């Protein structure tokens, strides 16, 4: 039997001035440099793709082996391998406008000048109206330089924000700095139009026979299903204490493997949902999540998905 809903809910989500057709965002570094995952899935079924994080200079990244599979997730230490902003602007940026979904440009760097150079170049790209500032990469020597401290984050974002004359600014934070509410508040005070929570969490997997780490760098970034409850708790706390009042949307990211994980993020306070590791398991997961989220919103009789953002019911405390 096919269920018919009298009025289909709108799944559109606003991030800054950009409207996504639905809340599903493919996360940085997991869907190609410029949405190459579109060879495997229909990009009109999702809200946005995020580019690989791009730096000012090209980077070859860390030594292989850079990825280890774990039972409920993976550890990676790619080390921001990318072609650098000049090549990106020449070869990748011209594709953005033709992609049938919104495009979020991801920026990484090791100095304020380097971040500003990449962000301002991406700001000029047609069809790329959101720029995500990655201050949370655990896999390079200086990936956490700015994300680890609210004051340094403020200094960085105050230089970047004025250069984003066309594009909205998303700030992607890490869970590995402890309580990230001060970092989130700092990003919002600097004019962030959205927050992405969270990046991978530093982890270590050891081969018990060779007694070496399973990846060459030793410690890497842990992602996938097992980080989901941590990410959900962080989205809940940041939404409740910082982002809700400021009306700044959150892209809940970490361990979404199916629509229920995505729905949890929305109930915890996320307006959109990032999908990363799941696309390595099966690229079609994002499409299925978008479809089933829509059915869930309709089942709950909502006209708009945003009615469910932060709608988690809080248990009464029993003392």
Ligand X SMILES: Cc1cc2nc3c(=O)[nH]c(=O)nc-3n(C[C@H](O)[C@H](O)[C@H](O)COP(=O)(O)O)c2cc1C
Question: Do strands 18-20 and 24-26 pair parallel, antiparallel, or not at all (unpaired)?
Answer: unpaired
Q: Which of residues 113-142 bind ligand X (CB under 6 A)?
A: 134
Residue 132, H or E segment = strand 130-134
Report residue 197 as tokens: 């929570």
* Nearest approach, Cβ of residue 285 and ligand X (Å): 10
Say whether residue 16 binds ligand X (CB under 6 A): no
CB of 231 to ligand X, least distance (A): 7
> 167-196: which residues touch ligand X (CB under 6 A)?
172
Q: Is 298 in the site for ligand X (CB under 6 A)?
A: no
Catalytic residue among 31, 137, 149, 302: 137
- Minimum distance of ligand X from residue 315's CB (angstroms): 27
Q: How far is CA 286 from CA 16, 256, 265, 299, in A?
A: 23, 9, 15, 20
Nearer to ligand X, 62 or 120 (CB): 62
- When CB distances to ligand X are compared, the closest residue is 29
For ligand X, what does the binding mask look like between residues 33 and 62, x meaning CB under 6 A? -------------------xx---------
Nearer to ligand X, 176 or 223 (CB): 223
- Could you give the CA distance from residue 242 to residue 317 in angstroms, rounded to a whole number? 22
Residues 6 or more apart in contact with residue 108 via CB below 8 angstroms = 53, 54, 55, 80, 115, 118, 134, 137, 140, 143
Q: Is 31 marked active-site?
A: no
φ/ψ (deg, to 5) at 139: -105, 15
Q: What is the Rg, in whole angstroms, of the alpha carbon atoms belonging to the chain?
A: 19
Could you say which of 25, 28, 43, 130 contacts ligand X (CB under 6 A)? 28
Backbone angles phi and psi of 166, in degrees to 5? -110, -35
Q: How many residues bind ligand X (CB under 6 A)?
A: 27
Query: For ligand X, which residue of 199, 213, 287, 298 counts as binding (CB under 6 A)?
Result: 199
CA separation for the pair 167, 191 (Å, rounded) = 12
Nearer to ligand X, 23 or 254 (CB): 254
Judged by CB under 6 A, which stretch of 70-78, 241-249, 263-271, 309-317 contacts ligand X?
Answer: 70-78
User: Residue 89 and residue 95: Cα distance in Å, rounded?
Assistant: 10
Q: Does 277 bind ligand X (CB under 6 A)?
A: yes
Question: Are the C-beta atoms of residues 102 and 18 closer than 8 Å to each other?
Answer: yes
Which of 286, 291, 243, 239 shows the shortest CA–CA distance to 266?
A: 239
Binding mask 229-268 for ligand X (x = CB under 6 A): ------------------------xxxx------------
Q: Which residues bind to ligand X, rule: CB under 6 A? A: 27-30, 52-53, 74, 76, 78, 80, 106, 134, 172, 199-200, 223-224, 227, 253-256, 274-278
- List residues with catalytic annotation: 137
């Amino acid at each position: 039997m096919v269920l018919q809903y009298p009025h289909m809910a709108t799944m559109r989500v606003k991030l800054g001035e950009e409207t996504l057709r639905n809340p599903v965002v493919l996360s940085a570094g997991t869907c190609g440099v410029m949405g190459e995952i579109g060879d495997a899935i229909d990009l009109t079924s999702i809200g946005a793709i995020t580019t690989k994080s791009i730096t000012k200079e090209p980077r070859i990244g860390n030594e292989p082996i850079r990825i280890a599979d774990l039972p409920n997730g993976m550890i990676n230490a790619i080390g921001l391998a990318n072609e650098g902003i000049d090549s990106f602007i020449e070869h990748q940026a011209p594709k953005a406008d033709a992609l049938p979904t919104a495009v979020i440009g991801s920026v990484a760097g090791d100095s304020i000048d380097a971040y500003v150079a990449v962000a301002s170049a991406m700001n000029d790209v047609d069809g790329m109206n959101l720029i995500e500032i990655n201050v949370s990469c655990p896999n390079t020597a200086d990936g956490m330089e700015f994300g680890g401290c609210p004051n340094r984050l403020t200094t960085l974002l105050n230089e970047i924000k004025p250069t984003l004359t066309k594009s909205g600014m998303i700030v992607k934070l890490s869970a590995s700095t402890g309580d990230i509410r001060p970092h989130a508040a700092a990003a919002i005070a600097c004019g962030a139009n959205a927050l992405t929570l969270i990046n991978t969490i530093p982890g270590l997997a050891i081969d018990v026979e060779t007694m070496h780490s399973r990846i060459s760098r030793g410690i890497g970034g842990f992602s996938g299903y097992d980080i989901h409850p941590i990410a959900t708790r962080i989205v809940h706390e940041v939404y409740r204490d910082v982002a809700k009042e400021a009306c700044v949307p959150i892209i809940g990211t970490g361990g979404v493997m199916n629509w229920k994980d995505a729905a949890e993020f929305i109930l915890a306070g996320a307006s959109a949902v990032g999908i990363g590791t799941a696309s390595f398991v099966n690229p079609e997961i994002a499409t299925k999540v978008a479809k089933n989220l829509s059915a869930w919103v309709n089942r709950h009789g909502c006209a708009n998905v945003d009615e469910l953002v932060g709608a988690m019911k809080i248990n009464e405390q029993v003392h």
